[in-house]
Amino acid sequence: MKQIDVKTLSPGMVFSAPVYIEGNNLLVPAGIAIRKKDIERLVSWGYSTVSTDGNPVTARPEQDKSDSENLAEKPVENPVENPAPGLSGGTVKDKAPGNVLSLSEVQENKGAYRSYVNLIERLDAVFSGIGSGVSVEPRTVDNLAGELLQAVREERDRIIGFILGGEVAGHVLAKSSINTAILSAFIAMELKFSHHKVMQIVTGALLHDVGMLRLPGEITNKSGGLSDAELQRVQAHPLYTYKIITKELLYPEDVGLVALQHHERWDGEGYPRRISGAAIDVGARIVSVADAFEAMVSEKPYRNSMMGYQAMKNLLSDNSRRFDPDVLKAFIKTMGIYPIGSVIMLNNGAIARVTEVQGDAPLRPKIRLLIDEFGKVYKNDEGELIDLLTEKSLFIAQALDPKEISRKRD
């Protein structure tokens, strides 16, 4: 095939044979005019050439005019770079009514989402009691762990979407702990642990950072860097957590170790005791991976959240330094390179949400359209389901940050 410089393309240009990206991904069929937004997408995706066996035949300048008119948008505040087609720039607000990227449960405040929020609110109440020195019944935490595990088994795909969507405002520690427990449950189940062992790991994950409640607010809420003394106090929180779990809540050692060791590293460079490898409790190794991913995709006072795809890439680059390779492998297998709930752009400009991971083909998950290539917006679960493993002409061009995509303008 001949390589065509993208700079030589112009709106309305027609070729006598199909034009492809990367040799086998269709840009336009033969006889179909290239649109202005096709060229803009190629540039924004970083492509410098396309390929074809054909030659330019006729130009249709009126196509560019029509396309430009269709793309015209009103200016908006805080525009984002390279906004998705059919969308204006801006920032998605939590629970924005009618937002195409918000799930139906978020908008309606019921179903799986309501259960997810309820878990966060109830754990926050537990943490408030512990922080105030009020006696907390372990049964309360046990009930939370059981309900969370049931939700994970019944609403797996939706609940991952809630984690990546970051829709819940406030309750920072409780939300982080619920999310980490959910992700830990996925890993433990992928590793085929018994129900009893999974429950222990989930319980440890729910409580893994409870020792942070014993640190002063000026440290935990600090937006700048920590001093050496402050850092030492933060690194002592697993010890505080272990004491709370085993001495105050009277949980067994197996639950306490999950929290005590979740900041230890596979290479022995972690804290508080610098143990390494298999000497680290397996539950702690699981929570370590889950906690790291959750921290990357959630907003913190000192930085913005990261997309699920970028967070997964960061985990993949670990090279057995921080994480148990087998635990990390299990996490990637259950979550995929593009985790369920991730928002992606296809090569034809359509926007979709990942709905199912395909373990043997991590770059070709099943997806549901949110906005098709013509700009049509689908609400709730109305968009077409597409299996990228069978739809060979489509591929994921890039991952998108849901918080940088606003709803389609009327």
User: Residues 119-131: what's their mean pLDDT?
Assistant: 93
For the cut 70, the answer to whether the pLDDT of residue 304 exceeds it is: no
Which position has the token pair 């336009």? Answer: 28
pLDDT of residue 190: 93
User: Residues 362-385: what's their mean pLDDT?
Assistant: 87
Cβ atoms of residues 54 and 17 within 8 Å:
yes
Q: Is the dihedral of CA 35, 37, 43, 47 positive or negative?
A: negative
Measured N-to-C along each axis, helices 172-190 and 282-297 cross at an angle, to the nearest 10 degrees, of: 130
pLDDT of residue 252: 96
Query: Under 8 Å CB-to-CB from 19, ≥6 apart: which residues?
Result: 4, 26, 27, 28, 34, 50, 51, 52, 54
Alpha-carbon dihedral 179, 181, 185, 188, rounded to 10 degrees? 120
User: Residues 199-207: what's their mean pLDDT?
Assistant: 98
- Show the domains of the chain with their CATH numbers: 2-71 (no CATH), 104-305 (1.10.3210.10), 343-404 (no CATH)
Cβ atoms of residues 325 and 265 within 8 Å:
no
Q: Are strands 385-387 and 49-52 parallel, antiparallel or unpaired?
A: unpaired
The mean pLDDT value of the chain amounts to: 80
Spatial strand order in the sheet of 19-21: 2-5, 49-52, 19-21, 25-28
Indicate the pTM of the whole model.
0.69
Q: What is the pLDDT of residues 1-43, one digit of tens each?
A: 888 998 999 988 888 877 877 655 567 766 678 888 778 777 7
pLDDT of residue 166: 64
Q: How confident is the model at residue 265 (pLDDT cuts 50, 70, 90)?
A: very high
Instruction: Please compute Rg for the chain using Cα positions.
Output: 24
Q: What are phi and psi of 85, to 5 degrees?
A: -60, 140
Long-range CB pairs of 105-111 (<8 Å, 24+ gap) are 105/158, 106/162, 106/165, 106/167
pLDDT of residue 157: 77
User: Residues 282-301: what's their mean pLDDT?
Assistant: 89
pLDDT of residue 106: 44
Q: How confident is the model at residue 201 (pLDDT cuts 50, 70, 90)?
A: very high
Q: What is the pLDDT of residues 210-252, one digit of tens each?
A: 999 988 877 777 777 778 888 888 889 999 999 999 999 999 9
Closest CA to 199 of 142, 152, 246, 242: 142
User: Residues 108-130: what's their mean pLDDT?
Assistant: 85
Q: How confident is the model at residue 112 (pLDDT cuts 50, 70, 90)?
A: confident
pLDDT > 70 in the chain, percent? 79
pLDDT of residue 80: 30
User: Residues 357-385: what's their mean pLDDT?
Assistant: 85
CA within 13 Å, CB half, 101: 28
For the cut 80, the answer to whether the pLDDT of residue 68 exceeds it is: no
Q: What is the pLDDT of residues 328-342, one digit of tens each?
A: 999 988 888 888 878
Q: What is the pLDDT of residues 386-401, one digit of tens each?
A: 999 999 899 998 888 7
Cβ atoms of residues 172 and 294 within 8 Å:
no
User: Residues 113-123: what's their mean pLDDT?
Assistant: 92
pLDDT of residue 75: 30
Cβ atoms of residues 12 and 62 within 8 Å:
yes
For the cut 80, the answer to whether the pLDDT of residue 376 exceeds it is: yes
Query: Under 8 Å CB-to-CB from 43, ≥6 apart: which residues?
Result: 6
CA within 13 Å, CB half, 202: 27
